[in-house]
Structure formats: structure tokens, C-alpha cells
Amino acid sequence: MKTQPNVRSQKEQEFYSPPPIRVGIVQFPGTNCDFDTWEAVRSVSGLEPSWLSYQTDSVREIDAVILPGGFSYGDYLRTGAMAAQTPVMKAIRKFAQEGHPVLGICNGFQILVETGLLPGALLINASRSFICEDSPVVSLTSRTPFTSIIPEGTRINLPIAHQEGRYYLPEDKLRNIEASGQVVFRYANNPNGSIHDIAGVSNPEGNVVGLMPHPERRIRHSSSPPDGLLFFESLLISLRNRMFQRTAPDLPLLK
């Protein structure tokens, strides 16, 4: 007797053999942490990195975007100011407004602030000097795609390397982001004079995150506790859960 072929629906195929999560890594003139970020994304099975040029005016077939650290356009005018005017940032603004995950690391954080996707400003360090050292931070929320598996109150050790990383926001707006849970990380030992020890913030929706420390530099077990992997594993699990909710809403979420 002839049997019917086992033809799975697209939803079933996505559930049993989910496609990789495609992470776009933006390259500006002067970016220098792009390859570190590529390796960090590639180190998590299920994530697939790809390059995004600063000249592109659309973000297609990408599930998340990371703006890596460096010195885009030589930090002329203000850190991140020139990069914020590029075609790719116009596309990323729309991408973020649609609810997709966007992470800015160091210079990437500065660029997100300059574009208005994140609140505040990043000023020269209180010491007036470049700081390059390990700096422990404390996680305050797991509601973002990049902190979904990091419990509140977790202390993680990440390196910093910046001269203009002192976070500032006027007091009235500062109260608003504190009350709405937009402060994502605080420094345990404030190295740069950031107001309220703030090391990272999100937009009100939580899908856009910026931080000054470098998680992509803490991914290897051989050199240090790989605390930075938590960010990239969080992204994978967060987007997988989003997919499972679409294809199999009755299943429990991954943790």
C-alpha cells in the first residue's frame, strides 16, 4: 500500500530544525572590534554572523544587529556623531522601531545615543583619561534579549576601554529611566564617573541595549570566566523563544 509522504508544514520545519539566528555586525570606518564581535557571535551554536556595511540603506534577512566598539570616523566632532548620520543607521533605526534586537558596545553605545535610539550622553571620563581595565558590573534586568538568561543582581566581570564613557542624563529624565527599568547594568566600582554608576541602558521597549563594557572580549574559558558569552547566549534563547511562541505556543520557554 502506498504511504503518503511526511510533508511538514513550514511551522513544523522551523520547530524541529530551526534556522540559524542571523546577526548583522556593522562596520564603520574606524571600527576595530568587529572581528572580536564576529568571533563571539560565531562561538554560540545557532547564531550566524554577517557583515553590514555603513553604506547599506536596508537591513534584510537579519534577526539582530550589533554595533561593535572602536573609533568610528576617528571620533571626530563627537564620539559616534558622524556614524549616526550614515545610511545603515537610518535602516537600523527602522529595524529597532519594528522591535528587533539591537546591541551597541562601547562606540556602538555612543552611536545609539547619537541616533536617539537610547537616552542620555556619554561624556569624557571624570579622570580625563583613557581607561583600559576589567570592571565588574551588576545586571539589573533580564527583560532584554541580551540579558534574558542573566538573573537580576548577577555580578559579571567585563573589560572596559574608553575615554568618553561617562554616562549622563538630566535628573528628571534619569528618574524616568530608573523607574521604567531601563538601567540594564551598573558598575560595581564606578571607573569613569557615570551618573548613578550606570554602565548600560535600554530603550523603553527593551529591544535596544547599549553598554560601555566589552562582552565580546570575555568569551573564552582558557583566559578568564567567559561572562561575555551570556549576552550572546541570551540573544539566541530570546529569539528561539520568540520563534517557538509563534510555531508552538503551548510549549514552555527555553531558559
The string of pLDDT tens digits covering residues 26-35 is 999 999 999 9
Catalytic residue among 33, 106, 114, 162: 106
User: Which pLDDT tens digit goes with each residue over 163-218?
Assistant: 999 999 999 999 999 999 999 999 999 999 999 999 999 999 999 999 999 999 99
Provide the pLDDT for residue 1. 47
Distance of CA 172 to CAs 120, 121, 178, 197, 205, Å? Answer: 12, 14, 10, 17, 19
Provide the pLDDT for residue 222. 82
Q: Residue 248: is its pLDDT beyond 70?
A: no
* CA–CA separation, 146 and 234 (whole Å): 5
Alpha helices in 116-170 (DSSP H): none
Q: Are 147 and 231 in contact (CB under 8 A)?
A: yes
**Domain covering 19-247 assigned CATH 3.60.15.10 in the classification:** no
CB contact set of 47 (below 8 Å; sequence gap of 6+): 20, 21, 23, 41, 232, 235, 236
pTM of the model: 0.91
Q: Residue 249: is its pLDDT beyond 70?
A: no
Of the chain, the percentage scoring pLDDT greater than 90 comes to 83
Q: Residue 5: is its pLDDT beyond 80?
A: no
Catalytic residue among 33, 162, 164, 214: 214
Nearest by Cα to 234 from 207, 198, 197? 207
Q: Which residues pair with 138 in a beta bridge?
A: 155, 186
216 classed as catalytic: yes
What are the residue boundaries of the structural domains of the chain, listed by start?
Answer: 19-247
* CA–CA separation, 182 and 166 (whole Å): 17
Query: Residue 11: pLDDT band by 50, 70, 90 thresholds?
Result: low
* CA–CA separation, 213 and 34 (whole Å): 15
Cα atoms in the 13 Å half-sphere on the side-chain side of 15: 14
214 classed as catalytic: yes
Q: Are 226 and 220 in contact (CB under 8 A)?
A: yes
Q: Which residues pair with 122 in a beta bridge?
A: 167
